[in-house]
Amino acid sequence: MQVNRPPAQSTSMILDAFLNPDVPDGVCPRRTRMQIDLILLAIEALDLGGSEALLVAAKDLELQSIIKNRVTLWRLRATNPWRRNSQRRPLTLEEAKALVIIACHLARRLTVVVRQLLLAYDQLLEKQLSPDHHLRLSRYLERFRAHFRSRMNPKRTAVMAYNDERLNELALNLLGQLLFCTGTSGTQRLWSSLFDGEVA
């Protein structure tokens, strides 16, 4: 007996849930490309298997038509102009949507960890203590700094400006963004925030 199963949600349906911002040539602005890559960098700093988790998520979410393999993922992330081997190719809206969907999917899995780290940071601020006084937070910040320095081009003026203190601030701000995208309609809200000030 043949059983009629509902069709799997297609990639196009998943991507169509996002509004297309009115950007020139339908490609992502510089700041959007940088922000997406930094959010993924924060996820990698939180999860020791973060790089592999991005590829697994692409498969689980049926986004392999866009993110086919590790090389494709690297090329998309290398559209961040701060990268050591930055690619001059554009990042299309479709590609950006796929990366945002993956980031939010993984952020939801890390919700408890993100909340714990942000709570720990608030408690340290109240006591006027540095992040070094909390082992897990300190390790996250250390990994984020290491990832940033190993992957970003140290010759770029903007990158050179990031000393340890500024990198810690960036890493903590990204934790806030990850928490932001775990809430109701978080994926769509994150997507919209990436184009704030970029759309005429």
| Structural contact between residues 145 and 167, judged by C-beta atoms closer than 8 angstroms | yes
CA distance 36 to 117: 21
Centre a 10 Å sphere on the Cβ of residue 79 and count the other Cβ atoms it contains.
Answer: 25
Tokens (6 digits) for 76: 């998309």
pTM > 0.75: yes or no: yes
Q: If 0-12 CB within 10 Å is exposed, 13-18 middle and 19+ buried, where does residue 176 land?
A: exposed
- What are phi and psi for residue 176, nearest 5 degrees? -60, -40
| Three-state secondary structure call for residue 19 | coil
Alpha helices in the chain (DSSP H): 11-15, 30-46, 50-60, 70-77, 93-109, 111-126, 135-151, 157-160, 164-180, 186-193
- What are phi and psi for residue 94, nearest 5 degrees? -60, -45
Cβ neighbours for 40, distance < 8 A, ≥ 6 positions apart: 50, 54, 77, 99, 102, 103
From first to last of its 200 residues, the chain has per-residue pLDDT tens of 343 433 444 555 677 777 888 888 878 999 999 999 999 999 999 987 777 899 999 999 999 999 999 999 999 999 999 999 888 889 999 999 999 999 999 999 999 999 999 999 999 999 999 999 999 999 999 999 999 999 999 999 999 999 999 999 999 999 999 998 888 788 998 999 999 855 33
pLDDT at site 2: 40
Q: 């102009």: which residue's tokens? A: 81
CA distance 46 to 61: 21
